[in-house]
Amino acid sequence: MSQDLLSRIYNSFDPFEPLPAGDPAYVDCAEVRGDTNILVDLGNKILRSQRMVCQLYTGHRGGGKSTELLRLKDHLEKNGCVVVYFAADEDDIDPEDAEYTDILLSCTRHLLEGLKDADPKPILGWLGDRWNDLKELALTEISFENLSIEAQITQFAKLTANIRAIPSERQKIRDKVNPHTITLLNALNEFIEDAKRKLPKGKTHLVAIADNLDRIVPIPKEHGRTIHDEIFLDRAQQLQGLNCHVIYTIPISMVYSSRASDLRDIYGDPQILPMVMVQTPEGQTDEVGIAKIIEIITKRINRTDINLVPDIFGSMEGLQRLCLMSGGHVRNLMLLVRSAIDYIDALPITDRAIQRSITQARDTFRRTVEQEEWELLAKVALDKQIDNAEEYRKLLFNRCVLQYVYFDADGELQPWYDVHPLIKSIQQFKDAVANLSQDKIEQQ
Amino acid sequence: MKSEAIDWEQDLPLDADEAYQSLVRSLRRTDGFSLLFVRCSPIQGEQIITDIGNDLKDKNIQVLELKESIENLYDRIAALDDLEHLNILFIKGIEQSIFAYEDREGNDINLRSLSPQYGGTWHDVPRVLGHLNLSRERFRDNFKFCIVFLLPEFALRYFIRRAPDFFDWRSNIYDFPTEKALVDQESFRLVSDGSFDEYQQLTNEQRIAKLCEIKSYIDESTDPTRTSELWAEKGLIHAAAKEYEEAIASFDRVLQIKPDDHQAWNNRGIALGILGIYEEAIASYDRALQINPDEHQAWYNRGYALGNLGRYEEAITSYDRALQINPDEHQAWSSRGYALGNLGRYEEAITSYDRALQINPEDHQAWYNRGIALGNLGRYEEAIASYDRALQIKPDKHEAWNNRGIALGNLGRYEEAIASYDRALQIKPDDHKAWSSRGYAFLRLAKFDEAFASFEKEMEFNEGSAYYDKACYYAVQNQIDEAITNLQKAIEIDSEEYLNRAKTDSDFDNIRHDRRFQALIQ
């Protein structure tokens, strides 16, 4: 088999591009993700609602959130919405200590850039009022009034970028801006109102989707709280205060904080994208889930003239093993296939190459888990449940524990949790399970 | 193609050569952006950059060496010249930025790891990593080349824990194992009067119980000497469980109380060395040796760390100091030989191995390395004798069987060479180099069927090399068509490697005049 084909397959399993809406490689996994359908769950709420809705979306890193959100954007646009989707990046969020202000400034910047027809005057007016304060912080010497409208808009982007660029100035800029977040929010809403008045024909809703907010690294704050609590709970009122429909992505660990019920009270139930169920809670291989994963692989390879087994993969057993070890997590799957190809000179991908790829991925988990966490992991593996405690949030955040859902006998949707299948063969984990089972026997 | 049954519970780690091969494949196949992480020592890193340069000549390669702490890697890369033609960018020294971060956290430059930072805890984020984590889209959208991070173990852990989203976009991790772990563990054992052995035997529960006990003693203790002893013990318990970050933090607590505790400086150095933080380790040994210049173990460890940085001359000086104090330290003689060999000073290396083996004739690694040095001098008979000694002690050392075969082949003793390769392949059936060498040995004996079978087997593990070998096989038999076809296939897989080899390989002398051959190697 030619090297070109191998290279093409290798490059098609890239871990870093979310699929655009309508991409032929997309596989609808709703039935093995507990019938979660973003178009119905988040989309319809927006399309049917009379008032503005603010919703949260979450799931494991690399599980397919951005791909789903891009589908949602497409769906909403086809149903009379103007959608401003943005993936918050390093110009928006401070890598060391993000604050609510960052998110507000970020939303403002992206809406300003995305809604060209609306009148930016309210926002620019706000910036003009702050100008004298900010000028002192060496932002610029020029006078604001003399700038063209375009240049004024650029200045706004610069303001947010400068907060990031000059660490020493960061706090000073924030100190100048923070007391005025309420007026900024009002100005932004005025701008949004104008944008809504000027919506193109056939468009009735305005939606903002803020992706990537789950990228904020959890930093512990006083009293056992994290930076996530400070942003998503303490500032919930402001986050909900935008005059358009909003969807924020939040870290999955937020949903399991000690204040998870507060979160629910404020935003309603957050929409979670669970992993593709490749194993049942009883530890049996789930054939439907595995078939979905194989479908994902097949669509990525996108060649009808070659057999998946034995031309691409040496054996069905090896392929299934690989699917199982992905934990039903899409990016993990991409990574496993990619690294397996690193271990062969020519197709097919042998069992040996698959096991090497699994070994390497397992090593990463060995490096991730900290000493005291093995016992917690053993507990999750036995109970298939987690507690609302900080230490479990960390395990969700770093994907050592994955969330799945299934329908029970009564047709009720049941979330359950399991340790990542790659961890299950690690010696420290096996020891911890043995210890725990021993304890249980002694207690009985 | 048949592949052997796999035990899915059993890990299949790669050796350094296999890790290198997989890195080459990834770099060759990637079209555009990718992120690769290579865990290696600095000296291995140098070697990797050189080797990749030789093996992938059609790729445009740059190296970005970070000598000081930075906050924004993106801007540093964006400022490089000629990015539009770049295929591969190696980045070394990202750990400098993590050091600087730890300095800021720890305040005291000598007690850098006072807060338990090494390995990335959950307190804070080094700015450079926080930035990477948020800017991955920008990397993907604007950099159309492979970015290869060369980093030590501790820095890799930092990426996993503190830049998880950036790290999540990797294509793979390439782990270059060293044979160091064994020796490093040994070093702890030597300084701990046996307690290290004892700690290694503890079960996980016993360990935790012991740590809790020590912790409670520390909390109660009012006597600083006692407290520092407890910290030292805690450090060793962590080291025995391979929790080196915690071990370092504990040794630092000892040094806070007793800055002159050379033992603690030495132990701290060992733990740093295992994490691949060699410069810091050397600084730590230097402190130990300032306090007690007679500590031969510290001189030895210092030499070892220097060797890992490729600073072989300095390493030799350090070993010499260790041996002045204790001439019976066979490890030091052996490692000294290794350093000399790396400098191409093979005669001296052999003398050094001889000293090591006088003291400890059971050191199979010394016998093996001695064999390599002899082979490099063309003294094949002696090399074989040296490999034989290594194999008496450690019969499953497949590298020794392999090298023994090569030495025998160099003497024209092909039958014996084949027997030696067979032994190597019994132990490691996927060693494509052994299959290849074995095939050539048959070829030299004009046993063509067996040669063919061997190259056919090689095909399972390395197609490019197997096609090339088959091309040689046909060429020496004057079967020009088949030779050309196979050479073509090899070149299709790796044009650099096989074109260069074909240009000078005497196996092709029969067909060198052929116009098709001429056209192929143009």
- The CA distance from B394 to A442, in Å, is 44
Of the residues B9, B22, B24, B436, the best mutation for testing chain A's interface (the one with the most A CB atoms within 10 Å of its CB) is B22
Cβ contact B235:B243 at 8 Å: no
Give the mean pLDDT of chain A.
Answer: 85
* pLDDT of B152: 84
Task: Give A260 or A33, the one with higher predicted confidence.
Answer: A33
A98 occurs within a structural domain: yes
* Residue B116 CB neighbour total at 10 angstroms: 15
Distance between CA atoms of residues A115 and A96, nearest Å = 30
For residue B379, count CB atoms less than 10 angstroms from its CB and return exposed for 0-12, middle for 13-18, buried for 19 or more. middle
Q: Are residues A269 and A306 in the same domain?
A: no
A314/B204 CB distance under 8 A: no
Domain count, chain A: 2
Crossing angle of the two packed helices A3-12 and A287-301, in degrees rounded to 10 = 120
Contacts of A335 in chain B (CB under 8 A): 170-172
For the record, the structure tokens of A271 come out as: 């929409």
**Residue finishing a domain among A243, A273, A303:** A273
Q: Sheet harboring A271-273: ordered strands across? A: A81-87, A205-211, A245-249, A54-59, A271-273
User: What is the DSSP secondary-structure string of B391-437?
Assistant: HHH-TT-HHHHHHHHHHHHHTT-HHHHHHHHHHHHHH-TT-HHHHHH
From the candidates A11, A371, A377, which should be mutated to test the interface with B, based on the most B CB atoms within 10 A? A371
- Spatial distance between the Cα atoms of A68 and B69, rounded to a whole number of angstroms: 38
Among the residue ranges A149-163, A308-322, A397-411, B372-386, the one predicted with the least confidence is: A149-163
Choice among A125-134, A422-431, B395-404 with the minimum mean pLDDT:
A125-134
Do residue A283 and residue A393 come from a single domain? Answer: yes
Residue B324, pLDDT score: 95
Distance from CA of A351 to the nearest CA of B (A): 7
Q: Is the residue at A340 inside a domain?
A: yes
Mutate to test the interface with A, among B56, B118, B134, B211 (most CBs of A within 10 A): B134
Cα–Cα distances (Å) from B175 to A110, B37, B45, in that order, read 41, 8, 11
Chain A residues in contact with B32 by the CB 8 A cut-off are: 11
Residue B150, Cα to own-chain centre: how many angstroms? Answer: 12
Give me the mean pLDDT over the B328-353 stretch: 94
The answer to whether the beta carbons of residues B309 and B43 sit under 8 Å apart is: yes
In B, residues 129-148, which contact A (CB 8 Å cutoff)? 129-131, 133-138, 140
Residue A265 within a domain? yes
Provide the shortest C-alpha distance from residue A215 to chain B (in Å).
7
| Encoded tokens for A156 | 């706004």
Instruction: Verify whether the Cβ–Cβ distance A167 to B71 is below 8 Å.
Output: yes
Same domain (yes/no): A125, A221 = yes
User: For A80-126, what is each residue's pLDDT tens digit?
Assistant: 999 999 888 767 776 666 788 888 888 888 898 889 888 888 988 88
Q: What is the pLDDT of residues A334-379, one digit of tens each?
A: 999 999 999 998 889 999 999 999 999 999 998 888 777 888 999 9
Cis status of the peptide bond prior to A179, with omega within 30 of 0: no
CA of B317 vs chain A CAs: smallest distance (Å): 35
Is residue B152 within 8 A of residue B275, CB to CB? The reply is: yes
* Short-list A243, A245, A240, CA closest to A266: A240
Residue A146 and residue A60 share a domain = yes
Q: State the distance between the two ends of chain B, measured CA to CA, in whole angstroms.
A: 33
pLDDT of residue B392: 95
For A316, other C-beta atoms within 10 Å of its C-beta total 12
- Residues A213 and A267 reside in one and the same domain: yes
Q: Which residue of A has its CA nearest to B432?
A: A345
According to the model, what pLDDT value does residue A223 have? Answer: 73
Q: How far is CA A331 from CA A213, A319, A348, in A?
A: 19, 16, 22
Closest residue of chain A to B170, computed from CA coordinates: A15
- Which pLDDT band holds residue A278 (cuts at 50, 70, 90)? very high
The encoded tokens of residue B444 equal 């030299």
Q: How many angstroms separate the CA atoms of A262 and A278, rounded?
A: 32
Domain with CATH 3.40.50 in chain B: 16-178
Tell me if chain B has a CB within 8 Å of the CB of A424. no
Q: Which helix (H) or strand (E) holds A418?
A: strand A413-419
A89 contacts B137? CB cut-off 8 A? yes
Greatest C-alpha distance within chain A = 80
* Cβ neighbours of A352 in B, within 8 Å: 3-4, 6, 12, 430
Q: B115 CB near a chain A CB, below 8 Å?
A: no
CB contact under 8 A, A356 and B12: yes
CA distance B169 to chain A (A): 5
Size of interface A-B (CB pairs under 8 A): 161
At B60, list the tokens: 């445009």
CB contact under 8 Å between B140 and A17, yes or no, is yes
* Run of H or E including B475: helix B463-476
Among A29-38, A311-320, B232-241, name the one with the lowest average pLDDT: A29-38
Q: Is A345 in Cβ contact with B125 (below 8 Å)?
A: no
**CA–CA gap between residue B109 and residue B107 (Å, rounded):** 6
CB B36 within 8 A of CB B64: no
Q: Is A438 part of any domain?
A: yes
User: Could B164 and A359 be called an inter-chain contact, meaning their C-beta atoms sit closer than 8 Å?
Assistant: no
A268's tokens: 């309603």
Of A7, A95, A371, nearest to B243 by CB-CB distance is A371
Peptide bond before A218: cis, by omega within 30 degrees of 0? Answer: no
β-pairing, A413-419 with B88-92? unpaired
Task: Please tell me whether the peptide bond between A167 and the residue prior to it is cis, using omega within 30 degrees of 0.
Answer: no
Span A194-243, pLDDT tens digits: 999 999 988 999 999 999 888 877 777 777 777 888 888 888 888 899 99
Query: A342 CB near a chain B CB, below 8 Å?
Result: yes
| pLDDT level of residue B190 (50, 70, 90 thresholds) | low
Q: Which residue of B has its CA nearest to A224?
A: B123
Q: Is the pLDDT of residue A135 over 80?
A: no
- If residue B174 lies in a helix (H) or strand (E), which one and from where to where? strand B170-175
Contacts of B8 (CB under 8 A, 6+ apart): A321, A355, A358, A425
Sequence-distant contacts of B4-7: CB under 8 A, at least 24 apart: B4/A352, B4/B429, B5/A351, B6/A318, B6/A351, B6/A352, B6/A354, B6/A355
Would you identify the CATH topology of the domain B16-178?
Rossmann fold (3.40.50)
Residues A68 and A167 placed together within one structural domain of the fold? yes
Q: Which residues contact B509 (CB under 8 A, 6 or more apart)?
A: none
Could B32 and A11 be called an inter-chain contact, meaning their C-beta atoms sit closer than 8 Å? yes
Residue A417 lies in a domain: yes
Distance in angstroms (rounded) separating the CA atoms of residues A396 and A262: 19
Which B positions 293-322 lie with beta carbon below 8 A of chain A?
none
Closest chain B residue by Cα to residue A62 = B168
What would the pLDDT profile of B243-300 be if each residue is shown by its tens digit?
888 889 899 999 999 999 999 999 999 999 888 889 899 999 999 999 999 999 999 9
Q: Say if A28 falls within a structural domain.
A: no
Q: Which residue has the higher pLDDT, A131 or B40?
A: B40
pTM: 0.75
A331 touches chain B (CB under 8 A): yes
Domain membership flag for residue A25: no
Give, in degrees to the nearest 5, the angle at Cα B370 between B365 and B374: 150
Q: Are strands A81-87 and A205-211 parallel, antiparallel or unpaired?
A: parallel
Mutate to test the interface with B, among A8, A90, A99, A226 (most CBs of B within 10 A): A90
CA distance, residue A338 to nearest chain B CA (Å): 7
Confidence bin at A19 (pLDDT 50/70/90): confident
Domain-terminating residue out of A257, A273, A289: A273
- Among A56-60, A121-125, B190-194, B320-324, the range scoring the smallest mean pLDDT is B190-194
> In this predicted structure, what is the pLDDT of residue A345?
86
> Which H helix or E strand runs over B375?
helix B364-376
- Mutation target among B4, B6, B59, B459 for the A interface, most CBs of A within 10 A: B6
The pLDDT score that the predictor gives to residue B157 is 82
Rounded Cα–Cα distance for residues B242 and B239 (Å) = 5
Helix B278-291 × helix B296-308 angle, to 10° = 160
Please name the CATH architecture into which domain B179-292 falls.
Answer: Alpha Horseshoe (1.25)
Tell me whether strands A401-407 and A413-419 are parallel, antiparallel or unpaired.
Answer: antiparallel
pLDDT value of position A193: 93
State the distance between the two ends of chain A, measured CA to CA, in whole angstroms: 59
Residues in A touching B137 (Cβ below 8 Å): 87, 89
pLDDT value of residue B486:
94
CA distance A412 to chain B (A): 33
Does the beta-carbon distance from A368 to B30 stay under 8 Å?
no
In a domain, A158, yes or no: yes
Here the tokens at position B144 are 């159309």
Average pLDDT over residues A186-199: 93
Sort B68 into a burial class: Cβ within 10 Å, 0-12 / 13-18 / 19+.
exposed
Domain that includes residue A216, residue range: 37-273
Shared domain check, A192 and A174: yes
Which helix (H) or strand (E) segment holds residue B172: the answer is strand B170-175
Q: Which residues of A touch B135 (CB under 8 A)?
A: 89-90
- How high is the pLDDT of residue B210? 79
List, in sequence order, the alpha helices (H) in B221-309. Answer: 224-240, 244-257, 262-274, 278-291, 296-308
If asked whether residues A51 and A192 sit together in one domain, one would say yes
User: CA nearest B120 in A: which residue?
Assistant: A368
Which residues are A209's β-sheet partners?
A85, A247
CB B497 within 8 A of CB B464: yes
Identity at B234, one-letter amino acid code: K
One domain for residues A194 and A282:
no
Contact B368, B386 (CB under 8 A): yes
Q: According to the model, what pLDDT value does residue A95 have?
A: 63
- A130 lies in the same domain as A264: yes
Could you tell me if A401 and A444 lie in one domain?
yes
| Chain B nearest-CA residue for A164 | B131
* Nearest of A316, A347, A310 to residue B25 by alpha carbon: A347
Last residue of a domain, which of A273, A289, A312? A273
Nearest C-alpha neighbor of A58 from the set A340, A256, A225:
A256
Q: Are residues A287 and A421 in the same domain?
A: yes
Residues forming CATH 1.25.40.10 domain(s) in chain B: 179-292
